[in-house]
Structures are given as C-alpha cells and as structure tokens.
Amino acid sequence: MLESKGYQGGSLEFLKSNHVAVGDSVKILAGITYSGIIMPRYEHSDDQHVVIKLKSGYNIGLEIAKIEKIEKNQTTENITQTFRQITKKDGLPKVLLLSTGGTIASKIDYRTGAVTPALTAQELNSSVPELSEIASMDAKVILSKYSENIMPEDWVEIADKIAEFEKSDYSGIIVAHGTDTMHYTSSFLSFALAGFPIPIVLVGSQRSSDRASSDAALNLIGATKFITKAQTKGVYVVMHQDENDNTVACHIGTRVRKNHTSKRGAFQTIGDNPAFIVGEEQIQKNINKEFFSTKDFQPRIKLDTKVALVKYHPGYDPKILEQVIDSGIKGIIFEGTGLGHIGKVMYGSVKKAKEMGIFLGMTSQCVEGRVRMTVYESGRDLLSLGVTPLENMIPEVALVKAMWVLGNYEDSEEIKKIMLQKIASEISN
C-alpha cells in the first residue's frame, strides 16, 4: 500500500492513480518542470495540492489541476539519508550534546518527511562534519518534544541529567532545544544549577536543517567553539547574531528573549550586548566580569509551579485575579505598565493576596529599563500593599525564578530575599 501521510480526497486519488507516494523522487510538469521529493502534508490540509521538496531544500505546493505530468524517478529506499563514518580525533576536548527534540543537528527522513534529532555521535558528526575538527562529540536524547510542549517537570529532568556530569571530563554541555520556550528552560537551569563547573549552552534553530537557509549547523558549530575556547562557565543561549552567517551570539541564560517569530537573529540580550560573540576566527567577550556563581556547586532542582504571570492591561477584570488567588497559587508575578504599575481597580485583590501569604512581584511590560515604584503615587501604593519590585528582571525569568524559589524555600521573608538576590545575572547592573 502506498504511503500517503496527510493526503486525502482528490490529492490522495491523484497520488494513487499515478503510482507515487510520500518519499518518492518525482519530476512534475506544471507549466515548468519541477524535480523533488513528495512530502507529507498537515492533517487538515486541502485535497487539491501536492507538496514536493526541491533540491534547494524548500517545499512548494502544486495544484493537481495544473499538473500535466508526473513521473517517479526512484523509490523511497534509494533516497533515505545515509551517514558517513567520521573517526574521532585524539586530544580534542569532549563535549556532550543532550537533545530535547529541537531541530538542531537533526536528520531528514525522506520516507516520512519528518525531521528527527540525531540519535548518535556518528549521526551528529556526519550531519555537521565540522564538529569533528573542534571537539569529540557525544550525543544523548533526553526528550523528543516541541518546545511549546516542554513543561516545568521537563526542566527538572534536563537539570537532573546535566547534574550527573558534574565530575565528568566534558568541557561543556550543549542542550539542543526548540526556540519558542528556550529562555524559560535556560532560566531554570541558571537557578537550579548555579555554580555548575562547566558551561551549559542551549542551542536551537529558527529554520529546520532540511532548508537551505537553516541556521542549525552554524549555531551548533558556534556553541561548540564557545565551549572549547571561551574558558567560562554558566548557562547561555547561543543563536545567530543576525541574518548573516558570520557570527553567533552567546546570551546569558537569564537576560535573553526571543524577540522575533522567524528571523535567524531572533534572540537578543535585553538591555545590553550579548555576553560573547563567536566569529570564524575569534571570540569577542563583552562582559567585564564573570556573572556566574563562584560558590561550590550545590544543585537546587526543585520547583513549585503554583505561580501565575499576570499581564495587566486597561480593562483587566479583577475577578480574573480573584480566581487566580483562589486557585491555591503561592506567587504572582505582575507584568505591569511603565515603572511597575497596575490600576487601582486591582488593589483590593492585591491586598487579599498579600493577606493570604502569596508572594507578589512586579516586573514591567517595557522591554528595557527598571521597575521603580517610588516615583509615582500608584507605585508607592502598591509597595504599601506588599508588592515587591523586581528591578529589571524579565517577566518570564521572574516567573521561572519564583517557581524555583518557592520549590526550595518556605519562609516568606527568605522567599522575598532570594527573589531580590542576584543568582545568575537575572538582575543586571
């Protein structure tokens, strides 16, 4: 039976009548001639098109009514990607790559069209052969999830796995991760593994490795160079600096956000330059002093997810906040306006939350700048109601830190103290 994942109705009948299936290499005449591989379709796609992957790596959809002729070039088995053997070189530093399901250093299965993570060091080195000249790479798979599906319990699993290598001979650890929630994971690892003796680098790809414009290989190469040459430690996010292929940026794990949906240079350090820039020949260091903990490594990998991130806006119904409070929440991070404000309509609910012992922290919706709640009357009112200003902490980072703090500390005064204490540069100078 021919494989036809995602095809239905007219498009399915078209494939069957022409004796072709997903994964077949074909030549299609539709005004002009296209050569490529028939790709799967999304489950809810229409039934009037077929999709092929061109040699350039891009996918195009062709309307079946306009296809004059389709010919099969070769069978599925002949086009499945293979990997060449690469011998590890003696004397190179060792780097461990832990995959969580991102597209970085992945392989394309042309039988199914799926992009899957490299499962072995052999596959990894074959996908990005430049790595074998930089380091001796080992690879392990922890998770296989899109990043929007990675939950706090997955952060714990990742941190537990990394902690196992505290006394290893690796020069550093790379975590391959989807980009959408990467800065949440990097924040948790920054707090839970503060003081870890070797660098931890999260790497992703804005464009999958089967596309000609993919940033996967360069990001991975840059991360590996950074680990082996920068002589630092801490948690970083390493991604393209911009749309060019000349440099990658190394962002402190608690000072970074994804600021664009699709650009390769989507990640930016908030309020400063990236900590390091990795070029082809050198690494530029932009931080004057090391930001990481100098204390002995003592992992604190617990967390409590009973924390809410509340984005205030004109017209916010305080009844929604009441529902949050009554849900058993232990902490609320407000994403307030300007210097750290929410409307007076919220004050009664804020007072109730404080009386119930809920930690209340204030961040700003502004991308840059600090919360300063002493400037205006509304800020001072909120201070008197027990809201704690969180300096220039990024709202998402404050959320993750509150989960981590509440998971490891119980006393309310200590919780407030730790929330205001700089653990991993989440509060910048």
Cα 53 to its chain centre, rounded Å, is 26
Q: What is the DSSP letter of 89?
A: P
Which residues 6+ apart lie within 8 Å of 88 measured at CB?
Answer: 121, 125, 132, 136
Q: Which of 76, 100, 103, 232 is catalytic?
A: 103
Helix axes 152-163, 182-192, angle to 10 degrees: 50
- Degrees to nearest 5, angle at CA 97 with 91 and 102: 150
Q: Which of 180, 245, 304, 381 is catalytic?
A: 180
Whether 169 is catalytic: no
Whether 179 is catalytic: yes
Cα separation, 163 vs 205, in Å, equals 25
Alpha-carbon separation of residue 222 from 135, 197, 202, 293 (angstroms): 12, 20, 11, 24
- Cα atoms in the 13 Å half-sphere on the side-chain side of 153: 2
Q: Which of 258, 269, 363, 401 is catalytic?
A: 258
Tell me the helix, strand and coil percentages in the chain, rounded to 5: 30, 25, 50
Contact 262, 206 (CB under 8 A): yes
- Cα atoms in the 13 Å half-sphere on the side-chain side of 316: 22
Whether 258 is catalytic: yes
Alpha-carbon separation of residue 35 from 13, 174, 352 (angstroms): 21, 37, 66
Q: What is the largest CA-CA distance in the chain?
A: 75
Residue carrying structure tokens 């400037």: 375
Contact 340, 348 (CB under 8 A): no
Amino acid at 221: I
Whether 180 is catalytic: yes
Contact 156, 163 (CB under 8 A): no
Catalytic residues, by residue number, are 103, 179-180, 258
